[in-house]
Amino acid sequence: MRSAALRRCLAPALLPALPPPPRSRALSGPHPRGGGAAAAARRVTEIAKNSLASLKRENPRLEPTLAIIQAHNDHLIQEANKNFAKEVGLRVIHICLPEGSTKDEIVSEILRLNEDPNVQGLALDLPESLYSSKVLNAVKPEKDVDGLSSVNLGRLVHGDVNDCLVPPTACAVMELLEDIGGKTVLLVGARGAQGAALQSVLQRQGAAVLSCPWSAPQLQNELRHADVVVFGSTKPDDVPVSWIKPGATIISCAHDLLSEKRSYGQQNNPAAEKTLGSLAVAMRMQNMVKNMERWIQSQQYRKWDLHCLKLQPLSPVPSDIEISRAQSPKAVDVLAKEIGLLTDEFEIYGQTKAKVRLSLLERLKDQPDGKYVLVAGITPTPLGEGKSTVTVGLVQALTAHLNINSFACLRQPSQGPTFGVKGGAAGGGYAQVIPMEEFNLHLTGDIHAITAANNLLAAAIDARILHENTQSDKSLYNRLVPVVNGVRGFSAIQLARLRRLGINKTDPETLTEEEISKFVRLDIDPSTITWQRVVDTNDRFLRKITVGQANTEKGFVRQAQFDIAVASEIMAILALTTSLQDMKERLGKMVVANDKKGEPVTAEDLGVTGALAVLMKDAIKPTLMQTLEGTPVFVHAGPFANIAHGNSSVLADKIALKLVGEKGFVVTEAGFGADIGMEKFFNIKCRASGLVPSVVVLVATVRALKMHGGGPNVTAGAPLKKEYTEENLQLVADGCCNLQKQIQITQLFGVPVVVALNVFKTDSPAEVDLVCKIAKESGAFDAVPCNHWSAGGRGAVKLAQAVEKAANQKNSFKYLYSLELPIVEKIRIIAQKVYGAQDIELSPIAQSQVDRYTQQGFGNLPICMAKTHLSLSHQPERKGVPTGFILPISDVRASIGAGFIYPLVGTMSTMPGLPTRPCFYDIDLDPITEQVKGLF
């Protein structure tokens, strides 16, 4: 049976509750445990071995690794660590630093191991002079197997032992002692963290503990009265054993693996010094096993401990930026921990933003997903109808007011609209993401990374054409596969190209002339280049440009264009990818042109895939922010919905669905009307992710419905006509045809729909009631007026309750079309069933492209229509529900890496222009406070 001391060290969680152990027999002093340190070490090792074996049975992929930093030449200690670790079943990495290593060098090594996800425990074997607080506190508390960091010791001293490890030396001392309650224990030469730990555990067992250095004048007197003497370091020769009280127990903590018992042989003092020896090493391994138990527990799903921020809405409602600035956001590391993120799962950007690592998906892979909610809308006015505001208001209501875990997943706004007409996309009023200026400006640089990657590929295309036009096969080959340090070798991506060409050779010297020609020549047809340069600014004069006019380009001139950065296929890939490997494969598949034989040329052919992945390696991680009420938000990816698929990232949704828990909600938004963003969400994004939505929230406004009912034109920047500010029930009733149509589109996919009426102060109660009545009669599960813009989450509580009920309804989700259908037929189904067109009409160019993509094997991809968002038809001025029109398909392009075909409907521009009065007139910076002004 194990001693009480051993039980205490194996289960430190019991320490605060344990009284001093009862005395089982009368003794002149505490007795060492029978069998000595070696026997105790064997017992401890066996127990640790069995515990770890049990953990491995439950977690077959577990490979516990202990790293030990050593800065001395004592090979016995190193061998002892290896042998005990092997016996227990642990993997040990020894980092052997030179004996004269400085504290800074040791700290540098500690910091490196702290960040190594494959190392779960870290221990130090150093000369005594190096055990400073700087060194000990460099070790992450969660990896501190020796338990000597200030964080760990503080928990031990305060009895917070659920979160600490008892240092191995202290555990070993306790194992060798019994019945110390009421006895006097003298610690001699036990300094620093080790001494503090010994004092704490001994006092907790009821001993009277004294501590003094070897040089203390009162040492002789203290030794004469102590029942137990613990040597924290080697006893000096000038301290005679005769000073020690006869019959006292002596335990030495000094490293001595050669002898575990030394008799001093004094005639009147037959005291025996018990050295900890291998027992301390065994206790270290036991601590590592306990640390693995804690590590495994830390990997489990954590219940949220979210502290929401209080809102005090003002009337009239201030500007968005004033509201944002009036709220003090939580530090993002606090928010991350509240929602169950581990410290190594997020990377902090400033005070209020953090990137979340994809490793979380592996950790929580067995955690059930929460409910998945899509926010879409009716066909909007040019002012937008507040889908982002509804998304934010809904999660604020769910979490801050109904105590239901929820996550908003939003797109990152392009700087084009931010400085153009539409402004930012952080929501508005008392339902927005904060800080809104950081949300709208740069964020964590994802769009800049996309711009850099996109333009690197564009540069590679033109450069390759130039070099192929001006060099022979031999010259190209010598430059593409150069001799470096006397050796010529293919890079990994070049070897992959050789395999695709059917050339199964790895030695550059063995290729034939024909094989060299096939390898070096892509033979890109400049007239087929579809890859454009991008910039994240609305710049109409870049819609058509000429490149290559400098003399150095040797007459290679061609017409090209710039797109806005968020229209890049790389943005679409970022939004649809499911992993880093998947993103790399998608980047390689991007078709940039055809060769002169009509075959596709990809980024992989150009050899740029790896470089693109490097530029995108941080952008793939979603950015964590918060709402005004302190609820979590992921901001990730930002494709437009009219010229791309218009949804935030699959990865953000997947991570959020794990974090909210089975009863939580993830609310994401699809751009523009349901006919555009929602249709692409279902047919493209859901196919890529495999996720099934629980409910659709369809956003409407009285303003937009009046426009669809025949109201005057709504123009950004111009005052609204009186029809929009005065009650007009007839206009509202007539315009509800668009709402009814969008409800019907949602029902095509078999998902329950809740209508959220975004209420403005000019809306009359009768208008609001009329819209809700018509929506319910038209098949909506519910229709709810919302006031989150002016009241925050409290104004969307009824919407949240309706969404919660709708999410529990039967869901018969289905895609609109089969991927096996021909490209033209898939386009026709969308045009007729979603837009209400009579039929479609392909231009000769569009038909030629369809034939080409079909022949190239791309016919089974989903369709991403590029169409105006201002009408169900291709004509922006046609409001309501147009019918009988023929949808013109002017061109068809392919985003093979993203995984869709995108037809262009009518004349669609992929580069917006600036209006007469852009938003930038109102944006300014205070040079004293550095505060941004004028954003909205």
Residues marked active site are found at 387, 389, 411, 422, 641, 672, 760, 789
Helix (H) or strand (E) holding 588: helix 580-589
Neighbours of 151 (CB within 10 A): 17
Measure the CA–CA gap between 929 and 343, rounded to whole angstroms. 32
Report whether 619 contacts 449 (CB < 8 A): yes
Q: Which residues contact 655 (CB under 8 A, 6 or more apart)?
A: 356, 358, 360, 361, 622, 634
The pair of structure tokens assigned to 267 is: 């005639």
Measure the CA–CA gap between 536 and 539, rounded to whole angstroms. 9
Question: Of the candidates 362, 342, 335, 354, which has an alpha carbon nearest to the alpha carbon of residue 658?
Answer: 362
CA angle 342, 346, 351 (to 5 degrees): 115
Question: Of the candidates 173, 163, 64, which has an alpha carbon nearest to the alpha carbon of residue 123?
Answer: 64
Upstream peptide bond of 316 is cis (omega within 30 degrees of 0) = yes
Measure the CA–CA gap between 381 and 717, rounded to whole angstroms. 12
For 871, list phi and psi in degrees, rounded to 5. -155, 155
Measure the N-to-C terminal CA separation of the chain; round to a whole number of Å. 71
The pair of structure tokens assigned to 913 is: 């222009």
Measure the CA–CA gap between 373 and 370, rounded to whole angstroms. 10
Measure the CA–CA gap between 31 and 25, rounded to whole angstroms. 11
The pair of structure tokens assigned to 654 is: 């997947």
Strand partners, 355: 347, 623
Alpha helices in 792-906, H assignment, sequence order: 797-806, 823-829, 844-855
Report whether 670 contacts 678 (CB < 8 A): yes
Question: Of the candidates 627, 10, 615, 597, which has an alpha carbon nearest to the alpha carbon of residue 290?
Answer: 10
DSSP state of 479: H
For helices 36-58 and 278-299, angle between their N-to-C axes, nearest 10 degrees: 20
Sort residue 398 into left (φ over 0), alpha (ψ -120 to 50) or beta: alpha
Q: Which residues contact 106 (CB under 8 A, 6 or more apart)?
A: 69, 71, 97, 124, 126, 130, 135, 138
Report whether 352 contacts 633 (CB < 8 A): no
> If you compute the radius of gyration of the chain from its CA atoms, what whole number of angstroms results?
35
For helices 492-500 and 513-520, angle between their N-to-C axes, nearest 10 degrees: 110
